[in-house]
Chains A and B, each alone.
Chain A
Amino acid sequence: MTIRKNQASLTPEEKRAFTAALLELKRTGRYDRFVTTHNGFIMSDTDSGDRVGHRSPSFLPWHRRFLLEFEAALQAVDPAVALPYWDWTADRTARSSLWAADFLGGTGRARDGQVLDGPFAYAAGKWEIAVRVDGRSYLRRALGTGVAQLPTRAEVDSVLAMPVYDAAPWNSSSGGFRNHLEGWRGANLHNRVHVWVGGQMATGVSPNDPVFWMHHAFIDKLWADWQALHPQSAYLPAAGTANVVDLHDTMRPWNDVTPADMLDHRKFYTFDTEPVPAPAGAAASQR
């Protein structure tokens, strides 16, 4: 069974295995197909039209499925690898071990944003940005430049406390947990982290930066944490909603998986620290 761990607790050998599997997926071309898929959805998901991957209730199950597919590809290279998650409420500076040269490498240089150290630096020769929106083929970052601060634990807890999964009009203007976690409203969690990293992570081709997977693995864990806090709260909408993936509708691009299939992550993996279900009626007072 796959166990997803906090990236901060990985051993040097686990970091080596993870980055080696990433480089192998990149070498074979498999990696870039994930970037292409993500960009296709992010450009076509609109508030007033069909929306599947983003700005909609299926943001969370879509990314859970997307990460599962990516993790399976990593495990086809090395069965011992699992996706780590990045708890950016705890590891919230550019000095975190996440950004060390033995893992993801650091921020970009001022002149052109180019990442110069780590396995994904352009000069290392194994990480050319091929699926791109502009002419630059090197990985870029500007940690903490686009926005100064990553979300805090208190901000995360305030969003986890929201009892309703999502609400009409089921888009970037919605109230509820999903849109506040995604970040189009309120404290801004997920979106802000993309902006904080900068470079390709701030664009539609954000999976070009391997931190994409670790960011989304944490967003995915926050969904699981929310479910444990609100065991009576269901995925919404249930049925009959135009342009939106209802609970039992299939999601593109797979067309054989529904949000209902994705609700219980324990069918696929567990976390190093599993959320503890809240006692009945005590959800709001937790933490």
Chain B
Amino acid sequence: MNKITRRQALGTTAGALTVLGLAGATAHAAVTRSRSAAPATPAGTVDEVYQGRRIRIVPASGGTGDHGGHHGGHQSPGQPTVLIDGRELHVMRNADGSWISVVNHYETFSGPLPLARAAVRELQGASLVPMGGM
């Protein structure tokens, strides 16, 4: 199993991820989860190439509550960080435990991974605009 640490995941540059993404072509890499799907953890660490795009999901650090401000941009408390080719996708958890993202904001998903894959399909190869850089 590919054991990538959170620090490594966050430290990888967008450029390197793009290269990896291109090299991955349309192959679907195996999903790597750092933990088995424990119910208390809404999202495990994910690192996969999906339709040629590198998806990384880093679970929220510290605390389990999803209360508090939702400021986006940088790992809001209780929210995982979802990266597509190194660019962060704005995500939000609904009260019923389902998820939405800024590119599918009126459609709910069962977790960050199906949400990230839907975003890749929606993007059709386009790059996310860096959050807060609009």
Contacts and interface: CB of A to CB of B under 8 A. Distances in A.
Interface of A: 36, 39, 42-44, 46-49, 55, 112-113, 131-136, 146-147, 169, 171-173, 183-184, 190-192, 194-195, 202-204, 206
Contact of B134 (A46, A131, A190, A194): A131
B95 A195 contact: no
B105 A135 contact: no
A135 B127 CA distance: 5
A134 B128 contact: yes
A178 B134 CA distance: 31
Nearest to B73: A43
A113 B124 contact: yes
Interface string B93-109: 11110000011111110
Interface of B: 66-72, 90, 92-96, 102-108, 122-124, 126-129, 134
B129 A202 contact: no
A195 B106 CA distance: 6
Contacts of B126: 134-136
Contacts of A184: 94, 108
A204 B68 contact: no
B107 A202 contact: yes
Contacts of B107: 146-147, 191, 195, 202
Contact of A133 (B69, B95, B106, B129): B129
Contacts of B94: 47, 55, 172-173, 184
Given A43-B72, A48-B95, A173-B96, A112 B124 contact: yes
A146 B109 CA distance: 13
Contacts of B105: 42, 194, 202-204, 206
Contact of A48 (B66, B71, B72, B134): B66
B39 to A, nearest CB: 19
Given A133-B102, A191-B106, A202-B107, A48 B127 contact: no
Nearest to B108: A184
Given A43-B92, A132-B134, A204-B105, 10 more contacts: A48-B66, A49-B68, A55-B94, A133-B102, A136-B126, A171-B95, A172-B95, A203-B105, A206-B105, A206-B106
A192 B108 CA distance: 11
A184 B41 CA distance: 24
B95 A134 contact: no
Most chain A CB within 10 A, of B93, B104, B122, B124, is at: B122
